[in-house]
Structure 1
Amino acid sequence: MNTEELVTLLATRADPVDPGIAARRFALALLVAALGSLLLMKGVYGLRPDLSFAAQTGLFWAKFALPACISIGALAATSRLSRPGVKAGRAWWVVGAPVVLVWVAGALLVGAAAPEDRSSLILGISWRSCPFNILLLSIPGFVTVFLAVKGLGPTNLRLAGAAAALLASSIATMVYCFHCPEMSPAFWSIWYIAGMGLVSAIGAMAGPKLLRW
């Protein structure tokens, strides 16, 4: 049997690909990730006591918008990298834009503050635990998003793992906002980003093993 005959044989036996399978996989993965992180957050940390008041402020929703915007870019990157031979393209720009904006906002805030107030704006009261709290809350999403990605046949496993982990951690960070008392953009620009970066680094290291198909 020559090559052309083999290709013809494989093509005639191939089932049609469902164009909506990726969307359904990611929709289910994100739903489970969000619910899992929420239940974990409520069980381990609890909601912040003044949430009803904080949620009435623009600053709270600005904090929430940081991981929410990152999640949009991370989802675009993950969905593209889940397909064989496809690059993330401009999705990384969508990820980077909110990071740059919060860095600028944090720098302006610290620069305008009195010298004795700057450390509290940057460190808050939870800088030691914040990245690791995000890491813990990312576990449900890490599992579900990796399962969704693996079933779609990624080829750049390290980069796909980093994107999938960033998606999981951005969802976890959105959930974490409902517990975290920090209201300084200077804090979010360092410690929220550090938490998401930590999970992404783990995803990059685990990708070649966990996403192999």
Structure 2
Amino acid sequence: MNTDDLVRHLAKETRPVGRNSVARRLAIGMAAGGIGSAILILIALGMRPDLGTAMQGTSFWMKWGYTFSLAVAALMTTAQLARPDSGRLRGLWLLVIPVVLLAGIGFLELARTPSSQWLAMWLGDSWKSCPWMVLSLSAPIFAGLLWSFRRLAPTRLRAAGAAAGLSAGAFAATVYCLHCPEVSAIFVLTWYSLGIVLATLLGMLVGPRLLRW
């Protein structure tokens, strides 16, 4: 049997892969992990008691918009790195947009607030725990993305792990909004983002070991 015959024989039973199958599989893994993170919040932390009222204001949607848009942009990058032919990454600039917009909102908040209150705005009441909460809540989501990667074929494992960690951290921060009462943009930009960065670094660290196929 020559090489062409062997290739035809191996490919005979294969079925075409849908165009968006990779992104869809990653989204399923991330959504399943997000449900796990929400359950953790219900069991260990509880929903913020004024959630219904908070959702009628702009501060909640400011936080939610930042974390969710970052999660979507990170998932797009993860989908590219899940393929063996990822090549040059497209759309990385999308990750910058939520950060720049939130930074702009934060600076406007500071400009309208007396400087004596800046430190309180920045630290809030939970700056010590917030990044670690986001990192902890990212674990089920990262596990869901690892499940997604089982049928994918990443070759840039460290980058894929970092992108998966970024996706997990940003989506975990989105879920954390259901509990966190902080309203300052500068708080979210600093401490939410720190938790997301920690999840990204952890993903980069374990990626070469856990994503190997």
Shift of 1:30: 2.2
Shift of 1:24: 4.2
Matched with 1:210 is: 210
Matched with 1:18 is: 17
**What are the within-5 Å matches in structure 2 for residues 26-41 of structure 1?**
26-41=26-41
Structure-2 separation of matches of 1:88 and 1:114: 46
Shift of 1:119: 0.3
Q: For the Cα contact (< 8 Å) 1:67–1:171, is it kept in 2?
A: yes
Matched with 2:171 is: 171
Question: What is the number of equivalent residue pairs in this alignment?
Answer: 210
Deviates more, 1:35-44 or 1:90-99: 90-99
Shift of 1:150: 4.0
Give the aligned residue type for 1:33: G
Say which SS state the counterpart of residue 65 (structure 1) adopts.
helix
Per-residue CA deviation, residues 120-152 of structure 1 (Å, 9 max, x unaligned), is 111100000000000111111110102212421
Flag the 1:87–1:196 CA change in 2: closer, same or farther, 3 A: farther
Shift of 1:177: 0.3
Matched with 2:122 is: 122
Per-residue CA deviation, residues 177-207 of structure 1 (Å, 9 max, x unaligned), is 0100100001001011101110000001111
Give the aligned residue type for 2:17: D
**What are the within-5 Å matches in structure 2 for residues 173-192 of structure 1?**
173-192=173-192
Structure-1 separation of matches of 2:15 and 2:88: 25
Structure-1 separation of matches of 2:87 and 2:64: 28
Q: For the Cα contact (< 8 Å) 1:146–1:161, is it kept in 2?
A: no
Moved over 6 A (4+): none
| Identity across the alignment (%) | 38
Q: For the Cα contact (< 8 Å) 1:154–1:211, is it kept in 2?
A: yes
TM-score by length of 1: 0.92
Deviates more, 1:175-184 or 1:98-107: 98-107
Q: For the Cα contact (< 8 Å) 1:72–1:94, is it kept in 2?
A: no
Is 2:196 aligned against 1:196? Answer: yes
Shift of 1:104: 2.2
Q: For the Cα contact (< 8 Å) 2:30–2:142, is it kept in 1?
A: no
Give the aligned residue type for 1:11: R
Please provide the CA RMSD for this pair: 1.6
Give the aligned residue type for 1:199: A
Q: Which runs of 5+ in 2 are unaligned?
A: none
Structure-2 separation of matches of 1:90 and 1:112: 38
Structure-2 separation of matches of 1:17 and 1:41: 40
Say which SS state the counterpart of residue 138 (structure 1) adopts.
helix
Q: For the Cα contact (< 8 Å) 2:124–2:182, is it kept in 1?
A: yes
Is 2:90 aligned against 1:90? Answer: yes
Shift of 1:50: 1.2
Q: For the Cα contact (< 8 Å) 2:71–2:170, is it kept in 1?
A: yes
Q: For the Cα contact (< 8 Å) 2:84–2:153, is it kept in 1?
A: yes
Shift of 1:92: 1.7
Say which SS state the counterpart of residue 18 (structure 1) adopts.
coil
Give the aligned residue type for 1:16: R
Structure-1 separation of matches of 2:154 and 2:123: 39
Flag the 1:88–1:127 CA change in 2: closer, same or farther, 3 A: farther
**What are the within-5 Å matches in structure 2 for residues 19-168 of structure 1?**
19=18, 21-87=21-87, 89-168=89-168
TM-score by length of 2: 0.92
